[in-house]
A = this chain, B = another copy of it.
Amino acid sequence: MAPRLYCCLESGNCYKIRLLASLLDIHLDEVQVDLFTNAQKSPDFLAINPKGELPALVDGDKVFTDSSAIMVYLAGTSRDRGSETLPSSYWSSDVVEQAQIVDWLAFAASDIHVGLAKARAIMAFNWPAGASEETLSEARRKGVASLQILDQRLRKEEWLALGRSTIADIAVYVYVALAPMGGVSLEPFPAVKAWLERVTKLPGYIGPDGLDQPLQNR
């Protein structure tokens, strides 16, 4: 039975999983959980993920409740297209390389989350409701700081970690690609723009359709 992904089309963290699954040609059974009706806080869903957050992945008796962990699991237990070797090149069996990837997963979960992702959430969803101009400005300021760090890195490297595309890139990609939705321009960051373009060229790439104008879906 295919692993079951609990997700929501408007969520960037859920898109990370759908993108990785497509890149690695993994079939997932997707179950939509509607954040707009707070379905992620329903007793049924809390029995699956007590955090009441998306995405969550259930594969047999294994449950993962964060996009980072789901990506490690899927990339680590899957093969690259046309390869027999485990894990796929999106994860690594070498611990030093694992730590290098985890450093960028953490960057996505902290720096990107409080900056670019937050500015987008305020602008696109009015979430959190009634956020002040100051809160939005602060999120944008942090977003720009993240882009400066990324641009510095990507002026020297084609990919964030290990010299190849890994889940580090997938974790960081989406909220950077959607930065303009939060009012943060990518124009001052040519190395970031070139990297975004490289991601779209990966075999199996799918775009963040539906995420770029989320409220028009409702």
Contact = CB atoms under 8 A, between A and B. Distances in A.
Interface of A: 50-51, 62, 64-70, 72-73, 76-77, 86-87, 91, 93, 95-96, 98-100, 102-103, 105-107, 109-111, 113, 148-149, 152
A103 B64 contact: yes
Given A50-B149, A76-B95, A91-B95, A69 B100 contact: yes
Contact of A51 (B77, B95, B107): B107
CB-based closest 5 A-B pairs: A76-B95, A66-B106, A73-B99, A69-B103, A72-B99
Nearest to A72: B99
Nearest to A111: B51
- Tallying the copies of this chain within the complex gives 2
A196 B100 CA distance: 29
A24 to B, nearest CB: 14
B103 A65 contact: yes
A19 B95 CA distance: 20
A64 B107 CA distance: 11
A77 B96 contact: yes
Nearest to A153: B50
7 contacts: A50-B152, A51-B149, A66-B106, A68-B105, A69-B103, A69-B106, A105-B106
A51 B146 CA distance: 8
Given A68-B105, A106-B68, A106-B69, A95 B87 contact: yes
A73 B101 CA distance: 11
A50 B62 CA distance: 37
Nearest to A107: B66
Contacts of A77: 95-96
A189 B70 CA distance: 28
A130 B114 CA distance: 19
A4 B102 CA distance: 19
A152 B65 CA distance: 15
A43 B136 CA distance: 27
Contacts of A70: 99
